[in-house]
Amino acid sequence: MGILAAVGLASCYPPQVQYPYTALVVTRRIELKDNLLSLLPADQQVQQAAREEAAWLADTAYKASAGIARINGSHFPGWAGNAFVNARLQDRGLCWHYQHDMFRELRRRPLQYFRIGCCVRDGGKPSEHNCVYVAAKDAAWPEAWVLDAWMWNGRLKVDDARKLSPSRWADLPSICRIQSIYYQEGHQWPMEHWSVLRGPDGEYEGYWLPEMRRSSQYRRMYNNIERGKKEHPGRLTNY
């Protein structure tokens, strides 16, 4: 109980820039790299290109998770963040916001050995929860590792999909198809870009629609992008 309380308290603010570089998280990044490699056939696990790809995915997952939370500006983890978004007290913080954002960041590099997927727990129910996962290139769900940037507000939570309840968790290829239109492998969108925004009427729509330009989220996204350009010239990410 004490550990859970400490995690909850720590999650009440986005991780600092140095968080992914702390000794604990560096160790977790290495563990995730090794776990991802274990998804591959034995002959691929020893290939240098595969090891570099797994390391990039693991490092990016932890760094991007923290950066996403800072850009979203949520000061509440998990369901508390949902409550504030639904009450219109903050713009971002739903689990699918984090899902879309993590998908965006993990699609920055064309992958040879792995693929990025989307999954859902309790789809269509009040307890619905959305995440991304990493699987071997030709492997099917649930041979994957689930990456959850939402639960602890940017402090990445990693789960073995093979150990999750098959009656509650499912693959969600429809979201991948939609998000892949925005974020193709090797895309150049800045980290501050959001594919789906809340419009003036409170409904969520694609960022390109004319009515979205009248929304507070569009203005915030635009300001975030412009600020990112000034603070990090020539960079697509700011983690």
Reading the block at residue 77, the tokens are 């983890």
Mean pLDDT computed over every residue of the chain: 92
**What phi, psi does 163 have (nearest 5°)?**
-105, 0
Reported as a single tens digit per residue, the pLDDT across 29-61 is: 999 999 999 999 999 999 999 999 999 999 999
Reading the block at residue 115, the tokens are 């693929």
Counting residues of the chain whose pLDDT is more than 70, the rounded percentage is 95
Of the candidates 227, 234, 225, which has an alpha carbon nearest to the alpha carbon of residue 207?
225
Q: Are residues 206 and 165 in the same domain?
A: no
Reported as a single tens digit per residue, the pLDDT across 173-226 is: 999 999 999 999 999 999 999 999 999 988 999 999 999 999 999 999 999 999
pLDDT for position 191: 95
User: What pairs with residue 130 in β-bridges?
Assistant: 120
pLDDT for position 10: 55
Q: Are residues 152 and 63 in the same domain?
A: yes
Res. 5: pLDDT tops 80: no
What is the average pLDDT across 7-25? 82
pLDDT for position 89: 80
Q: Are residues 10 and 93 in the same domain?
A: yes
| Distance between CA atoms of residues 122 and 170, nearest Å | 8
pLDDT for position 35: 98
Q: Are residues 26 and 103 in the same domain?
A: yes
Q: Are residues 72 and 125 in the same domain?
A: yes
Q: Are residues 150 and 89 in the same domain?
A: yes
pLDDT for position 94: 94
Res. 6: pLDDT tops 70: no
Q: Are residues 120 and 94 in the same domain?
A: yes
- Residue 79: CA count within 13 A, CB half-sphere: 4
What is the average pLDDT across 90-113? 95
Q: Are residues 72 and 164 in the same domain?
A: yes
Q: Are residues 128 and 218 in the same domain?
A: no
Beta carbons within 8 Å of 63's beta carbon, 6+ residues apart = 20, 237, 239
Q: Are residues 174 and 215 in the same domain?
A: no
pLDDT for position 88: 80
Q: Are 29 and 62 in contact (CB under 8 A)?
A: yes
Q: Are residues 70 and 122 in the same domain?
A: yes
Regarding pTM above 0.85, the answer is yes
User: Which structural domain range is residue 207 located in?
Assistant: 190-239
SS (H, E, C) 32-70: HHHHHHCCCCHHHHCCHHHHHHHHHHHHHHHHHHHHHHH
pLDDT for position 239: 79
| Distance between CA atoms of residues 179 and 230, nearest Å | 27
Res. 7: pLDDT tops 70: no
Total domains, the chain:
2
**CA dihedral in degrees (19, 197, 145, 48; nearest 10)?**
-70
Res. 8: pLDDT tops 60: no
What is the average pLDDT across 21-32? 98
Q: Are 142 and 164 in contact (CB under 8 A)?
A: yes
Res. 132: pLDDT tops 60: yes
Q: Of 187, 204, 231, which one is at a domain's C-terminal end?
A: 187
Res. 65: pLDDT tops 50: yes
Q: Are residues 107 and 220 in the same domain?
A: no
- Going by pLDDT thresholds of 50, 70 and 90, the confidence category of residue 2 is very low
pLDDT for position 11: 60
